[in-house]
Amino acid sequence: MNATSTARVKVEAGGDQVVGHVGLHALGAFADRLGLGDALSAQIIAMHKRLPRHDRGKVLVHAMLMLAGGGECCVDIERLRIEPVLFGDVCSDSTLYRTLRSLDPRTVVAVKEAVAEVRETVWRRSAATKRGPVVLDLDGSLIDIHSENKEQTAPTYKGGFGFHPLACFADATGEMLAALLRPGNAGANAVADNLQVLDEGVAQLPATVRAGHGVGDDPGAVRRAVVARADSAGCTEGFVHGCRQRTIGFSVVARSNRQIHAAISRIAAKPRRWQPAITQDGDPREGAAVAEVTDLCDLSAWPSETRLIVRREPLHPGAQQTLFPSLDYRYWGFYTDQEGDPVELDRFMRAHAHVEDHIARLKDSGLQRFPFVSFEANCAWLAVVCFAADLVRWFQLLCLSGALAVAEPKGLRYRLWDAPGRVIRSARQTIVRVLSGWPDSDAILTAYRRLAAVT
């Protein structure tokens, strides 16, 4: 029996006619079909009289491919440079560095507007965006930076040091619509910051969805096709009134106070007030129950139609007792202006937990690294990280199916992006053949057929 883990081979330099990122080429071809590079180029004004060798829109798209493939800094662009058969003339790491440094705040805003136009094309084709209201999830995350030389880094409330970006996600697709880079000591419940990232997220929505949602719209409008969800950081009167002013619905996690204590104490021993809770799949949630206590609380300071709903579940080891002290149950609640059954609204609000998966995916795709000293340059880096994550999500929505359509970044790299192939030249064509026996070769070929239909 042979116990060796490798075959005996002789390794030499000088290999050619092979490529190692066929799936990543599919992602780049998808970006080209969407016109992403051209849209970005139109918004980046050349700073010199002589045109640059590398189109700046193409540079940013290559940066997105680099991030999707696991890159964490500008020098990782070299992974694409060694494969001109797939990616053409790729810029150097110094060119990428200079490009990101040249993106001032005004240019970043213009580039985001260009991405919004491309996003509208994707939303028009995707079935995931056709169901129910558009739900925007807001949340922040701490990013540790191991250098005190980067501008606007600061200590965090958890004892770390770095940045505290705030993000807005589209729940239906997992896209990171907007992100605001902030110092590490920035407050999670800062009303101005939460409303700013909400406004930027709404600005990324298609025009048909965005219409009627903005500062100055009729606050009495009944139709609220956009709903903002947030944890207790959004539980401020300033934020919820800001949502109402923008004709945006809200659901925010409640904070403990005397009024909620009194309301829960009055219904804790009344079984008729509680309804069995359900899971995200609609099955009964064992031991959990939901009750509405709007009639037991004074919500006059909140927008009209605001409701307060609480949930209890058996207290398990390590659970945080947030709203009401109890030896038997953990209580949790939220404020909302949405109509519907309290049990269904509880399930809707608990889906805010999706944001944790989105943030984890981003941290595996460049969010953990801010390679510049300049704060403006790091803001540009964050924007490109957002674009790269969204490009991957668009590709999954329109070109993939099954497990790959919801795969995490690591799974996509191992199964798709890093697929090897052999280069064949025949009849004045360059043909790339995926390695025979590659487990997901059918998915790659299917993705190429689907992206050919993207318009």
- Going residue by residue through the chain, which has 455 residues, state the pLDDT in tens, using 9 for 90 and above: 777 888 888 887 877 888 899 999 999 999 999 999 999 998 887 655 566 778 889 999 999 999 999 999 999 999 999 999 999 999 999 999 999 999 999 999 999 999 999 999 999 998 888 877 899 999 999 999 988 899 999 999 899 999 999 999 999 999 999 999 999 999 888 999 999 999 999 999 998 888 777 665 444 443 458 999 999 888 999 999 999 999 999 999 998 888 888 898 899 888 899 999 999 988 988 889 999 999 999 999 999 999 999 999 887 766 666 677 776 788 889 999 999 999 999 999 999 999 999 999 999 999 998 999 999 999 999 999 999 999 999 999 999 999 999 999 999 999 999 999 999 988 888 899 999 899 999 999 999 999 888 87
Residue labelled with tokens 């101005």 = 192
**Contact at 8 Å (CB) between 250 and 233?**
no
Distance CA 454, CA 126 (A): 11
Q: What is the pLDDT of residue 221?
A: 40
Cα angle 299, 187, 320 (rounded to 5 degrees) comes to: 65
CA 357-233-394 angle, to 5 degrees, is: 30
Q: What is the pLDDT of residue 49?
A: 58
Strand partners, 308: 335
- pTM score, two decimals? 0.92
Residues 177 and 170 sit within 8 Å (Cβ to Cβ): yes
Residue 254, beta-bridge partner list: none
pLDDT value of residue 183: 95
Q: What are phi and psi of 179, to 5 degrees?
A: -150, 140
Helices 105-125 & 22-34 angle (0-180, nearest 10): 90
Angle (CA) 84 89 90, round 5° = 95
Q: How far apart are CA 69 and CA 418, in angstroms?
A: 8
pLDDT confidence of residue 50: 61
Paired residues of 168 in beta bridges:
138, 178
Residue 120 has, within 13 A of its CA and on its CB side, a CA count of 15
Composition of the chain by helix, strand, coil, percent to 5: 45, 15, 40
Report whether 361 contacts 169 (CB < 8 A).
no
Contact, 229 vs 137, CB < 8 A?
yes
Position 208 scores a pLDDT of: 85
Structure tokens at 263: 């309301």
The strand pair at 284-292 and 161-163 is best described as unpaired
| Token pair 């940045």 in the structure block, residue | 163
**DSSP-based three-state secondary structure for 19:** strand
* Residues 25/432, Cβ–Cβ less than 8 Å: yes
